[in-house]
Amino acid sequence: MIAFVITLIVGLPLGHAFIVSQPYYAVGVHGQAFLPCTFNPKIQPEEMRVSVYKGMYGEERICSAYVNSSYPHIETNGRIYCRGNFSRGKVDLTIFGLRGEDTDLYRCRIDLIFPPPYIRKIGNGTLVYVQESPDCPPQQMQARIQEIPENKYDQTLSFPNIVLYAILIITAITLILQVMKMILKQRKSNHLTQTVTQKGDYSNFW
């Protein structure tokens, strides 16, 4: 009975002081969303359980893991899985495997296990908007990204050829113009000679 009273006396202030806070909004890109969960216990917990629930009322559990001071890392498995680290007063979680249809409210639940008393608190929730991924798989996207520098490299190599073709075209046009100029000049000279000859014949006639 005395132990129960002591637990109530110690646990009630801690329970009222213990609050889990989350950002109101987050954006998931490439199937990943960052979800920090902060809390403010008066005593640093040595062991606790971290869980993420999906839905307005937390109907679906996404991931759950036990962490302690000696192993503060969080790692779960599944189609949607979580990775994260536990530090003083904060749990930094990253949710993986999200799709556009997974846009919803996500809540952090923290269960303080040790030291006693046992306390459970749920965060206010974060609306996670998951952007739709492109239609092509990541391997095809990576292949396309790798092709882009190669195309630029080919275009860079073809630039001297373009300059060479331009020089050849300009040279050919210049030569054609010079030949046409010489032909016109020769025709003009022949025309003048013919005119002078006709004038001489005409004067001899008179």
pLDDT digits (tens, 9 = 90+) for 114-124: 988 899 999 99
Q: What is the DSSP string of 30-79?
A: TTBEEEEEEE--SS--SEEEEEEEETTTT-EEEEEEEEESS--EEE--SS
> Please, what sign has the CA dihedral across residues 40, 45, 50, 56?
negative
Class of domain 2-133: mainly beta
Q: What is the model's pLDDT at position 40?
A: 84
Query: Exposure of 108 by Cβ count < 10 A (0-12 exposed, 13-18 middle, 19+ buried)?
Result: buried
Would you say residue 202 has pLDDT above 60?
no
Residue 195: pLDDT band (50, 70, 90) is: low
Q: What is the model's pLDDT at position 111?
A: 95
Q: What is the model's pLDDT at position 151?
A: 46
Contact 85, 72 (CB under 8 A): yes
Would you say residue 144 has pLDDT above 60?
no
pTM here?
0.58
Domains of the chain, residue spans: 2-133, 149-206
What would the pLDDT profile of 85-95 be if each residue is shown by its tens digit?
998 889 999 99
**Bigger pLDDT: 198 vs 31:** 31
Q: Residues 24-48: what's their mean pLDDT?
A: 91
Average pLDDT, the chain: 79
DSSP state of 29: B
**Bigger pLDDT: 58 vs 66:** 66
- Of residues 70, 48, 52, 69, the one with CA closest to residue 61: 52
Neighbours of 58 (CB within 10 A): 19
Would you say residue 161 has pLDDT above 90?
no
Q: What is the model's pLDDT at position 8?
A: 39
Q: What is the model's pLDDT at position 89?
A: 86
Neighbours of 72 (CB within 10 A): 13
Q: In what order do the strands lie in the sheet with 33-39?
A: 20-21, 33-39, 90-96, 81-87, 73-75
Contact 63, 76 (CB under 8 A): yes
What would the pLDDT profile of 145-155 be if each residue is shown by its tens digit?
465 454 444 44
Tokens describing residue 167: 């020089």
